[in-house]
Amino acid sequence: IQKRLQAMQRVGLSYLSLGQPLSTLSGGERQRIKLAKNLGKKGGILVLDEPTTGLHPSDIQTLLQLFDRIVSRGNTLLVIEHNLDVIKQADWIVDIGPDGGKNGGEVVFTGTPAEMLRRGKTLTADSLRAACPR
């Protein structure tokens, strides 16, 4: 039990109550529970959908450190995310667009964050450039 509670603490969920129903949790909290379950695993593939939802910026930095830890243990981490701090840290970006909803669904860019800054012609690239002045 202690090991699992420590994992919950590492992903920033120490405020949850034991026995708290999943239906009371936000999508971001559920993603972090998934992350906590996989912290000790090696060689797996983990898919997270918007794990920064509802997080304070300082908590996002903690989450990014956990992502590094998971990858350094030989895992593959696929993150669907709009947060620019997460995008900046990615090894590889697949940008889907050109817009949202019915105006999206096409791969509009693939590459590293540095390549996106240099040659990306997407809304995400524009936002990343604005967040990373040279």
Q: Is 70 exceeded by the pLDDT of residue 134?
A: no
CA atoms within 13 A on the CB side of 58: 0
Q: Is 70 exceeded by the pLDDT of residue 51?
A: yes
- Return the sign of the alpha-carbon dihedral for residues 30, 123, 60, 41: positive
In a 3-state reduction of DSSP, which class is residue 35? helix
The residues that bridge with 79 in the sheet, in sequence order, are: 48
In a 3-state reduction of DSSP, which class is residue 9? helix
Across the chain, mean pLDDT equals: 90
pLDDT digits (tens, 9 = 90+) for 23-38: 999 887 888 888 888 8
Two structure tokens written together for 19: 């026995």
Q: Is 70 exceeded by the pLDDT of residue 77?
A: yes
Q: Is 80 exceeded by the pLDDT of residue 103?
A: yes
Q: What is the average pLDDT across 103-132?
A: 94
User: Cα(112)–Cα(46) distance, rounded to whole angstroms?
Assistant: 20
